[in-house]
């Protein structure tokens, strides 16, 4: 009877797990997502003293510039379905208090990705058309403005099946950019992880050799407790730190093989070195944007 119950239970669990996994990947296969990220912003004229600024005349293509602002976007297909057959192209509205100086697509991945950037005569928006954006494909858009908008004022829109019309702009994480797909082996972390795993396994061997059974409860719980020595407690509790030590060492060992990350990182966007920004520079720019 017990064998029958176990078999039926295993069968039910197997069926439920199979259906859940199949449904999960089926839903993922239908996901379509286009995400515009702000990679960095820069205000070169910020911090100049008032006296110097009055005497400093800045022009761009003959246009006087009062507050030069540079913003670089990374627009990526972050879903699982290709984006094609645009009804209306991707568009970035220029905030009212800003004047568009220039815009250009400075990089695309893969290299053969085709994009067509258009700036209307009124220069109040930027349109980018593309025939196909597969999963993981992206392009980098650099925009130069006269006037410094807030992040929420930078609004993208697109009209295509299965995508929302308005696309919220997100900040790109510091560690989401890479200049190479090559993973580096972190030797010190690898060594420490290996030592911790070996030490944890050694502790398990010592615990096994010194293990004593729990005292019998015959005669009452108090009598059983009185028979427990400090040595018994140490042996019974030792598996907990030994287990944690072994697991932590294994995580460190694995992290050494994946750029120091204990959990698998999201796929990084690989950019040319001249377009990538280091976390340190990004931190200073983030601070300047909120000052």
pLDDT digit string (tens) for 211-233? 766 566 555 555 565 556 676 77
Domain boundaries along the sequence of the chain: 31-181+270-289, 187-267
Q: What's the pLDDT tens digit per position in 65-109?
A: 888 899 999 999 999 899 999 999 999 999 988 999 999 999 999
Its CATH class, for the domain covering 31-181+270-289, is mainly beta
Q: What's the pLDDT tens digit per position in 169-191?
A: 999 887 788 776 555 667 777 78
Comparing 237 with 12, which gets the higher pLDDT? 237
Q: Where do we find the tokens 């460190």?
A: 252
pLDDT at residue 15 in the model: 56
pLDDT at residue 140 in the model: 95
Q: How many residues does the chain have?
A: 291
pLDDT at residue 50 in the model: 73
- Confidence class of residue 259 from pLDDT cuts 50, 70 and 90? low
pLDDT at residue 17 in the model: 53
**pLDDT average, residue stretch 183-212:** 79
SS (H, E, C) 38-97: EEEEECCCCCCCHHHHHHCCCEECCEECCCEEEEEEEEEECCCCCEECCCEEEEEECCCC
Comparing 273 with 279, which gets the higher pLDDT? 273
């Amino acid at each position: 009877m017990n064998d029958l119950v176990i078999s039926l239970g295993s069968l039910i669990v197997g069926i439920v797990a199979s259906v859940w996994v199949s449904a999960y990947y089926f839903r993922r296969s239908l996901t379509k997502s286009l995400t515009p990220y702000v990679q960095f912003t820069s205000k070169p004229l910020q911090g100049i003293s008032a006296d110097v600024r009055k005497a400093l005349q800045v022009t761009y293509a003959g246009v006087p510039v009062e507050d030069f602002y540079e913003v670089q976007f990374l627009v990526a297909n972050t879903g699982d379905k290709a984006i094609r057959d645009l009804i209306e192209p991707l568009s970035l509205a220029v905030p009212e208090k800003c004047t568009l100086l220039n815009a250009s697509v400075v990089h695309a991945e893969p290299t053969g990705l085709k994009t067509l950037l258009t700036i209307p005569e009124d220069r109040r928006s930027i349109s980018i058309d593309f025939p196909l954006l597969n999963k993981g494909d992206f392009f980098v858009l650099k925009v130069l403005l006269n006037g410094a908008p807030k992040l929420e004022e930078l609004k993208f829109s697109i009209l295509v099946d299965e995508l929302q019309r308005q696309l919220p702009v997100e900040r790109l994480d510091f560690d989401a950019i890479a200049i190479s797909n090559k993973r580096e082996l972190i030797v010190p972390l690898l060594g420490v992880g290996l030592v911790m795993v070996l030490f944890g396994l050694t502790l398990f061997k010592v615990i096994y050799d010194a293990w004593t059974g729990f005292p019998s409860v015959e005669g009452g719980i108090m009598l059983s407790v009185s028979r427990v020595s400090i040595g018994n407690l140490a042996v019974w509790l030792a598996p907990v730190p030994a287990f944690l030590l072994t697991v932590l060492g294994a995580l460190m060992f694995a992290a050494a093989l994946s750029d120091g990350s204990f959990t698998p990182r999201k796929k990084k966007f690989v950019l040319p070195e001249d377009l990538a920004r280091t976390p340190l520079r990004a931190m200073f720019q983030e601070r300047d944007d909120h000052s």
